[in-house]
Structures are given as structure tokens and as C-alpha cells.
Structure 1
């Protein structure tokens, strides 16, 4: 129980430093013409920018991301806090604040808003889940490669030589007509798109060899597709 109630010296020091800096910023803003609730808003704005830039530094540094912008806005907020502490120590006449200091105090809200916006919307470190998702390959179906659907002709047996005392004239038999090659309808539709694209690009009708190279199919299947496209 006593360990839980024991105060940390660093925490106490941070509370004291924050309270004094808060009071100095309020006094400087009030002396520069920001009266009422506006004088209390200035120290809150400075402290928020200081905390936001420090949190941004802690998130970017372990990931190896550039921290130049976060350091810049941290230095701006720290300079505003230290400047108020020094200015209220008697170096400036708070009853007669110079014009340049009034301009700085009046322009601080816009500067703090710009810094906070840039810190929030700057690209953050890449998480492990995003890296894993980017590394996974995306499977894309290969629509141009079609398996060989043409039946392979079986080798014909060589005719045996017949010894005959008398020469017999060879009778030429008519060559059998090649059986039509089945062509899937999806392949014909895809070939038609390839032919239209070729005609649009070159102005000429696509030939069989070019069609076969674009589709990656064997010659018999390319001839059958070209016949259907004619």
C-alpha cells in the first residue's frame, strides 16, 4: 500500500515545471493584450503542441522513419515555453510589451494549428500487418494461356512391304479430312477481343500466327479459332 502511495520525484518535478511554465505563458499572453479566457488558452496550446510532437517522435524513431518535422515542432513549442519563462523573469517590461512580441503572441494560434495538423496528417510508421499484406502475392488468373485442347494424332503404322513378282500400281486414297478441333466459347470471345484490339492498334486484320502467339495455343487450335473469327 505504501509503495502505491509513494510519489515519483520526476513526476513531482514535472508537475512543478508545468505549473510554472503555464503561469508564465498566461502572464505573457495577458501582458501582450490577450485578456480573459484567451490568456489561459495560450499555455494550453503550447503544452499540447509540445506533447503531440514528443509523442510523434516516440512513434517514428523506433520504426526508423524521418523525425525532422516532429523535432521542428517540438523545438518551436519548447522555444515558446522557455521564451515565456525568460521574458517574465524581469528581462521585459510586462507593462510595456514591444510590438514584435505582440505580433508573435497574436500569431501563435495559427502557427500551433498548422503544426498540429502537419503532425497528425503526416504519414506514420508502417505496421507489421501492413507489411505482411503488401508482401503477400496476389493471384491473377492467366486468361491468355489456354491448355492444349487439340487431340494429338496417333502415329500411323508403317505399311509392311509386300513382295510380289509383279509390280502392283499404288492406289492413291483420298486424304481423310481433319476432325474439327473443339474450341471453348470463352476462348473464342477472348480471341475476338484480341483481334479487335489488334485491328484498332494496327488497322489490319490479325493473322493466324499473331493470334496463336497472343493466345499461346497450338497451331490446330489457332486455325480453328481463326476460322470462327472470319
Structure 2
């Protein structure tokens, strides 16, 4: 009997590694900007949750055939925060001497993330387009409100319609 090993998807492994690194960079930047303890850990959580919420809303709107401008904007804002932290902690920024503008940006992030998350959460739920019906659906399932029958007189093919 062969032992079945779970197949690990390389894309998921890569995503977990990238997510952990990005999470760590956000934490390090927040800590360097004066947010210590649990607050430094809350920053990466807020960025990642905003990314996920915006992505889900974008996909939902796209599946429904609607534009996703608002969710796309919040996705790009959160992506910029994540990418900015990754670049800043790559040696381009002296983490022992963080500039004032970056301290202000980090301190202001919770309000921005709260605003974006609130807008995404309170956006009306978009109803997705119904999927194609399979052959197993019955006529009553396919058309819940059938049109009433129309009487057609086929006895006189040469009859002309009455003038209006």
C-alpha cells in the first residue's frame, strides 16, 4: 500500500513566504516609526486585511459584470503600503532615524485603513449573475414565472392585420 503524501502547491508556498516577509517588513517599519508592542503587529494585520477585503470586493464586482473602481482604489492603497514597507526596510531607509513624514504616515494609517475597510464593508452586496443552467434543471426551475399562453389564430394565413 502506497502512502499518499499531500501535494504542496508551489504557488501557495511562495504566497506564504512572500506574505510572511511582507508582514515582517510592515512590523519592522511600524516599530521603527514609534509604534511598539502590539501596535507594531497590528499594522501588518490591517494592511493585509484591507488587501484581502478589497480583492474580494473587486472579484465580486467583476463576476457580476460591474466596475470595481472603489475596491480597486483601496487595493492599490494597501498594496502601496505593503510595497512601501518592503522597499523601505531593504536598506534604503535608516530604521534608527525614520523621517518625520514617515512617522506621520504610519501614525495615520489606522484611520485610512478603518475608513477603507468601512467603505468596503458597507458597500451594498452585489448580486452575481446567475450561472448557466445545467441540463438537469426542469422547466419550472429554468423559468420561475412562465409567460401566459398567447392565443394565435392560424386558420387564415392570408388575413391582414387590422389598421390601428
Instruction: Classify the TM-score, shorter chain.
Output: 0.7 to 0.9
Say whether the 8 Å CA contact 1:25–1:85 is kept in structure 2: yes
Secondary structure of 1:30 counterpart: helix
- Tell me the equivalent position of 2:86: 85
TM-score (norm 2): 0.75
Say whether the 8 Å CA contact 1:53–1:73 is kept in structure 2: yes
Please state how far the C-alpha of 1:122 moved relative to its aligned partner: 1.4
Please state how far the C-alpha of 1:123 moved relative to its aligned partner: 2.2
Q: Cα deviations across residues 28-75 of structure 1 (Å, max 9, x unaligned)?
A: 000000011100000000000000000001111011122000100000
Q: In 2, distance between residues paired with 1:112 and 1:125?
A: 22
Say whether the 8 Å CA contact 1:60–1:124 is kept in structure 2: no
Higher relative contact order (CA 8 A, sep 6+): 2
Q: In 2, distance between residues paired with 1:86 and 1:116?
A: 24
Q: Cα deviations across residues 13-33 of structure 1 (Å, max 9, x unaligned)?
A: 000000000100000000000
Name structure 1 gaps, 5 residues minimum. Answer: 130-135, 137-230
Q: Cα deviations across residues 133-176 of structure 1 (Å, max 9, x unaligned)?
A: xxx8xxxxxxxxxxxxxxxxxxxxxxxxxxxxxxxxxxxxxxxx
- Tell me the equivalent position of 1:103: 104
Please state how far the C-alpha of 1:6 moved relative to its aligned partner: 1.2
Q: In 1, distance between residues paired with 2:75 and 2:61?
A: 14
Q: In 2, distance between residues paired with 1:97 and 1:14?
A: 29
Q: In 2, distance between residues paired with 1:109 and 1:63?
A: 31
Q: Cα deviations across residues 59-100 of structure 1 (Å, max 9, x unaligned)?
A: 110111220001000000000000000000010110000000
Determine if the alignment matches structure 1 residue 41 to structure 2 residue 42.
yes
Say whether the 8 Å CA contact 2:63–2:128 is kept in structure 1: no
- Tell me the equivalent position of 2:113: 112
Say whether the 8 Å CA contact 1:30–1:39 is kept in structure 2: yes
Q: Cα deviations across residues 175-205 of structure 1 (Å, max 9, x unaligned)?
A: xxxxxxxxxxxxxxxxxxxxxxxxxxxxxxx
Q: In 1, distance between residues paired with 2:68 and 2:36?
A: 36
Determine if the alignment matches structure 1 residue 31 to structure 2 residue 32.
yes
The aligned length equals 130
The 5 Å alignment of 1:14-25 reads 14-25=15-26
Determine if the alignment matches structure 1 residue 72 to structure 2 residue 73.
yes
Name structure 2 gaps, 5 residues minimum. Answer: 131-144, 146-164
